[in-house]
A = this chain, B = another copy of it.
Amino acid sequence: MDFSLTEERRMLADSLRGTLKRGADWAQLSDLGVQGALFTEAEGGFGGSGFDIAVVFEELGRAGSTEPVLEAGLAGGLLADCGEAALVEAVIDGSLRPVFAHDEPGNRYDTDLRCTATDGRLSGAKTVVIGAEGAGLLVVSARSSGGLSLFAVDPGAEGVSLRSVPSLSGGYASEITFDKAPARLIGPEGGAQPLIDQRIAAATLALCADALGAMETVREMTLDYLRTRKQFGRPIGSFQALQHRMADVVIEIEQARSAVINLAGHLHAAPAVRDRHVSATKNVVGRTASLVAEESIQLHGGIAMTEDYALAPFARRLIAVDHRFGDEDWHMERFIALGASA
């Protein structure tokens, strides 16, 4: 039993943290090996375990980076599963930024897909796709004659249209429609579901680790404010009611850290075990992220409500956690269902 990071991971975390502090862009992150850490050696990377993912995304969250690393890793992982080694190499060296277009309008967190692909043409709509703006390749889930399959689609191809608005967590969210867009089947026809499940599990871990990093930043910001902001002639952190609430926030962040570790350690377990941990972790992290956002705003007071104060994007990022890959209740229901069947 060992909860310390390996030397390699610690070095990656340290160099990432340093670079991110100076505001790293996509190219710099790629140079640092951020994408490489998300893939196994067999896939051409140098990581790929749950703990590799957790380390990278905790730093991205801590820095509040809005680069779509999670999205590229998710799409890239599917490309790897589909044997697209050349594309994966381009993802790892940073020259290709793909995105996975999966969720469809009106489905909420369920995935009852209606996009269809016939004779190399894909039609349908995908919704709130984070990171699609400017992506170099779309990996699209759709129903084909064999069942649920994956397709590579050029975002600039005829029949693809994309409309983007800013996203709650930074960056952009896009609506994408496909009207008989040329689409190339990748991977096993009709065999996409288990690949998607595994990669969404990894992406959920990434999101949770990102949230953990963001919570750490918010905690430090709030502690600093409690130490320095004075009202009634004393630091507001000297008021016991605020102290006790901050203590509860700190305790819950430790819970979130443990939840992330639990999922990282079970990411490659059998699907039922993996998903029980996915759901437990997403539920705990989602709850904690909302608590940390709300309490940090309240403990700050008015200043936290302003866009100019650095808390705002982190608070939005934390609230956004509950709106991707299934919310608190969705995962609680799945946790219950998996427990009952276990």
Contacts and interface: CB of A to CB of B under 8 A. Distances in A.
Q: How large is the interface on A (under 10, 10 to 19, 20 to 34, 35 or more residues)?
A: under 10
Contacts of A241: 240-241, 243-244
Contacts of A239: 240
Interface in A238-278: 239-241, 243-244
A185 B190 CA distance: 69
Q: Which 4 A-B pairs have the closest CB atoms?
A: A240-B240, A241-B244, A240-B241, A241-B241
Contacts of A243: 241
Interface string A205-247: 0000000000000000000000000000000000111011000
A244 B241 CA distance: 7
Majority SS of interface residues in chain A?
helix
A239 B240 CA distance: 7
A46 to B, nearest CB: 49
Nearest to A238: B240
A227 to B, nearest CB: 17
Nearest to A247: B241
A298 to B, nearest CB: 12
Interface in A18-47: none
A244 B245 CA distance: 11
A241 B239 CA distance: 8
A230 to B, nearest CB: 16
Nearest to A244: B241
Contacts of A240: 239-241
Nearest to A243: B241
Nearest to A242: B240
A204 B244 CA distance: 37
6 contacts: A239-B240, A240-B240, A240-B241, A241-B241, A241-B243, A241-B244
A238 to B, nearest CB: 10
A240 B244 CA distance: 10
Nearest to A239: B240
